[in-house]
A and B are shown apart, each in its own frame.
Chain A
Amino acid sequence: MRLERITNPSLARQLGFPAAAILATILVAMALAALAGANPLATLGQIVTGALGSKLALMETLNRATPLIFTGLAVAVAFRARLWNIGAEAQFYAGAIVAAILGTGALGSPWALPVTALAAMLAGAVILLGPVLAKTRLGVDEVVTTLLLNFIMLLFVSYLLEGPLKDPMGMGWPKSAALIAEARLPRLLPGLRLHWGFGIAVLAAVAIWIIQIRTTLGFEIRAVGANPEAARFAGMPVNAVMVKTALLSGGLAALGGWSEVAGLKGHLSLDLSPGFGYTGIIVAMLALLHPLGVVVTAIFVAGIFVGSDAMSRTAGVPTYIADMLLASALLFMVLGILLTKVRVVRG
């Protein structure tokens, strides 16, 4: 078989294949539910109700979406420049650590919030800077270095929580002391169980979108991602663009860690992220690396997690169904998107 590019794909093709990818994911969900001995349609219903069925469920979904918007943006920005940042998990924790260090009394009002946020971004940027400099200066592939840094960072957090950042009142739980009130993100609206992190995440998405379509940097990132050789030939400082992309990407992921500590949890713990950095890759890919799309897919992905948790409690289908669905959705979707642009021919 061979692939043939379609010059002007029909609308049916452009909508049909992505729709088929969604349908295929739903079928996988139903098959898994049946495998677990549950009613497939009822299970789907329980996932949807669990994610969106009540005001409480919806707030839970939006809270869960917040870190995913940040890590999704971090990945989207990097992948657009073909910088394979698989280390959003480490950068996320870098931001969370800074929040726990500076937010527990080191800084008072009115500096606690803005300074902590900026310092968190800086920390995340620095974490990604190492692998990117190794890539641009020495040609070291960044996929493995950023991945390995995730493991190192998690061990570092474990060390901090058992040592310097250990909560003296923690009764042996590995967590940091609680953030002071001045360092906490307020609620978005009074009476709503949703913190300002969500608002900042959406603003960040809009800001990235504007950077991408309105600024030279945005143009350069796209050019470098499309064809680094051509960009270099055109006189673009490819390495400098890579470094700027890295600072942006690492900063965004770290902002997610800061928002999770300052907005939701109020302290740093080892289970702060159930893999937000990795899930961010799925969020970004499903959004086709579009910053505004990231907001939508992050809410969708968060909904699957929250809904599956709720469903699992009643229907007895293991909650890992959520990860299986997301992996399936990712693979079906990349194939579906490809098939909107190419045709499979024999020969």
Chain B
Amino acid sequence: MIEILISAGFWAAVVRIASPLIFATMGELICERAGVLNLGIEGIMVIGAFTGWMAVYQGMPLWGGVGVAMLAGMAFGLLHATLTVPFGLSQHVVGLGVTLLATSTSSFAYRLMLPEVTSPPKIEPFQPFPIPGLSQIPVLGEALFTQTPLTYAAFGLAILVAWVLFHTPLGLALRAAGENPAAVEAQGLSVTGLRMAAVIVGSGFMAVGGAFLTLSAFSSFFFEMVNGRGWICIALVVFGAWRPGKAVLGAVLFAGFDALQIRMQQTPLGAVLPYQVFLMAPYFLSILALIVMSRRAEVPAALMVPYNKGER
């Protein structure tokens, strides 16, 4: 156990596992801060994983794949936003519908484009890019500064989201749309516009989180590869009390347990306990986190409350 925790390889894995979660959690956080629960996240991650991978497989550069994934995510975000914001439909129902639509669209398109394939073809994924100087630091260098560019982008995004949300007028307006939409409207700003923009952009980030799986982590696309990560990100937003910094901390903590359970399977404990117990641990941990944080959470006051001008 101690040997695992002091190995640089373990911490490098933690940062790697946390990266897609950070992208998607930031996406969800932006949506929820503006007042929209986006349960489309699971499916949007799948469509991101698929489209990003397919674009690269068809000959696009890796960053082109990231861009395609983001656009695909934004398209489904637009669908979600249109139905939930101006039309004010149930965010639960629309979100689950979007997840099903995005997931099945990925499967349908995959089968259509690769009808005869039995084992999914591989692409050349992002390679680790050691940051000169910093990567030489013992342990820390390997864990933090010998990652793929997409991992650096994930942490960069978290800083950007935190800065925009808490240090710019746009962020203030966005948060107000999720707390007190009538006040936003009184300022002459459009709640509908802000919320739609938040959902569209947030969905784009979720899709990049999905694309991380195919472009940086696994190099192939599998139907079940997202495997509940989207739902875990929703739990991470709650765990992070709707704050980017705390949410990143939650993602790293979660990734730590995930990396640990994989390694624990090879220890003497792994010979005693069935492997399913280890695989269950991350999900139990998410539920536990929700329960622990529920008392202290400051939920955006207008989360899941549709806004219709002129109605009180």
A323's closest neighbor in chain B, by CB? B104
| Interface mask (A42-61 → B, CB under 8 Å = 1, otherwise 0) | 00000000000000000000
Is A327 a contact partner of B279 (Cβ separation < 8 A)? no
B102's closest neighbor in chain A, by CB? A327
- Residues from chain B with a CB closer than 8 A to the CB of A138 are 291, 294-295
CA of A288 to CA of B67, assembled, Å: 39
CA of A335 to CA of B84, assembled, Å: 10
- Residues from chain A with a CB closer than 8 A to the CB of B39 are 143
A-B contact count (CB 8 A): 125
B182 within 8 A of A: no
A219 within 8 A of B: no
- Residues from chain A with a CB closer than 8 A to the CB of B238 are 141, 144
B309 within 8 A of A: yes
| Interface mask (B104-125 → A, CB under 8 Å = 1, otherwise 0) | 1101100110010000000000
CA of A4 to CA of B175, assembled, Å: 27
Is A163 a contact partner of B104 (Cβ separation < 8 A)? no
- Residues from chain B with a CB closer than 8 A to the CB of A281 are 93, 96
Which residues in window 138-168 of A have CB below 8 A to B? Answer: 138-141, 143-145, 147-149, 151-152, 155-156, 158-159, 162-163
From B86, B89, B97, B234, A144 is in contact (CB under 8 Å) with B234
B7 within 8 A of A: no
A328's closest neighbor in chain B, by CB? B101
A282 within 8 A of B: yes
Interface of B is mostly: helix
Is B274 a contact partner of A159 (Cβ separation < 8 A)? yes
- Residues from chain B with a CB closer than 8 A to the CB of A322 are 104
B59 within 8 A of A: no
CA of A159 to CA of B79, assembled, Å: 39
CA of A84 to CA of B92, assembled, Å: 8
B45 vs chain A, min Cβ distance (A): 14
Is B279 a contact partner of A155 (Cβ separation < 8 A)? yes
Q: Which of A86, A140, A278 has the most CB of B within 10 A?
A: A140
- Residues from chain B with a CB closer than 8 A to the CB of A326 are 100
Which residues in window 253-312 of B have CB below 8 A to A? Answer: 274, 276-277, 279-280, 283-284, 286-287, 290-291, 294-295, 308-310
Name A's B-contacting residues (CB within 8 A).
Answer: 1-3, 32, 35-36, 84, 86, 134, 138-141, 143-145, 147-149, 151-152, 155-156, 158-159, 162-163, 278, 281-282, 285, 316, 318, 320-324, 326-328, 330-331, 334-335, 338, 347
A sample of 26 cross-chain residue pairs with beta-carbon separation below 8 angstroms, ordered by A number, consists of A1-B192, A2-B309, A2-B310, A134-B290, A138-B294, A139-B295, A141-B238, A144-B238, A148-B287, A149-B287, A151-B227, A152-B283, A156-B276, A158-B276, A282-B97, A318-B112, A323-B103, A327-B101, A331-B79, A331-B98, A331-B101, A334-B83, A334-B97, A335-B89, A338-B87, A347-B309
